[in-house]
Amino acid sequence: MHLGLKDIIHTPGAKLSFSERVDLSDLLFGTCYPVKELVLAAGTVRNTADVLVMQGTITARINGVCDRCASDFVRDVQIPIDVVLVEELSNEDSEDEWVFPLENDAADLEDIVRTVFVLNMDSKLLCSPECKGLCCRCGKNLNDGPCGCQKELDPRFAALRQLLDK
């Protein structure tokens, strides 16, 4: 999917809005494909002193199995887009993952959305960033409340614990 930028590419101050659906369903994350539905990428590209800046938001629904508590989950996430578009990549730019080259005065929106999405995803798929996971002893899902097990203590705290118990 290409976003034509001919009209703003050489006009400082000009901007172009976009709102496109992008298919990321083939994105493999670990062992699953978490983005089953189309994601929405919306925002603007602005020519700021002849630099093209793309800003916006990716709205996506993530389906997965939580790496910590092993429950199935569906979570809506919003990921900011904030990248620079250049007519030609210099050597310096090619090391910068937030700089994208244009092709025939057009931005490859799908490539940008895909890259930004991957760079922003946590390394783990979690049902929530605060997921408490499972008790390593009894296996209870700690998001449902604490379990009856006594917490395994770090040996460094064991001495302190003894003092407190007295």
Among 36, 46, 68, 75, binds Zn ion (CB under 5 A): 68
Q: Is 131 in the site for Zn ion (CB under 5 A)?
A: yes
Sign of CA dihedral 129, 132, 134, 136: positive
Q: Is 147 in the site for Zn ion (CB under 5 A)?
A: yes
Q: Considering the rule CB under 5 A, would residue 151 count as an interface residue with Zn ion?
A: no
Q: Does 66 bind Zn ion (CB under 5 A)?
A: yes
Q: What residue type is 36 in one-letter code?
A: K
Give the integer Cα–Cα distance in Å for 84 and 102: 10
H/E segment holding residue 110? helix 109-120
Tokens describing residue 52: 């093209």
Closest approach, Cβ 145 to Zn ion, in A, equals 11
**Integer CA distances (angstroms), 157 to 25, 138, 150, 153, 164, in order:** 47, 22, 14, 6, 10
Given 69, 81, 112, 134, the residue binding Zn ion (CB under 5 A): 69
Contact 60, 117 (CB under 8 A): yes
In this chain, which of 21, 137, 151, 161 binds Zn ion, going by CB under 5 A?
137
Our CB check for Zn ion shows the closer of 46 and 75 to be: 75
| 32 vs 53, beta carbon nearer Zn ion | 32
The residue range among 88-96, 102-110, 144-152, 155-163 that interacts with Zn ion, by the rule CB under 5 A, is: 144-152
- Span 111-130, contacts to Zn ion by CB under 5 A: 127
Question: Is residue 74 near Zn ion by the rule CB under 5 A?
Answer: no
Buried b (16+ CB within 10 A) or exposed e, 5-42: beebbeeeeeebebebebebeebebeeeebbeeebbbe
Q: With binding defined as CB under 5 A, does residue 102 bind Zn ion? A: no
- The contact set with Zn ion (CB under 5 A) reads 66, 68-69, 127, 131, 135, 137-138, 147, 149
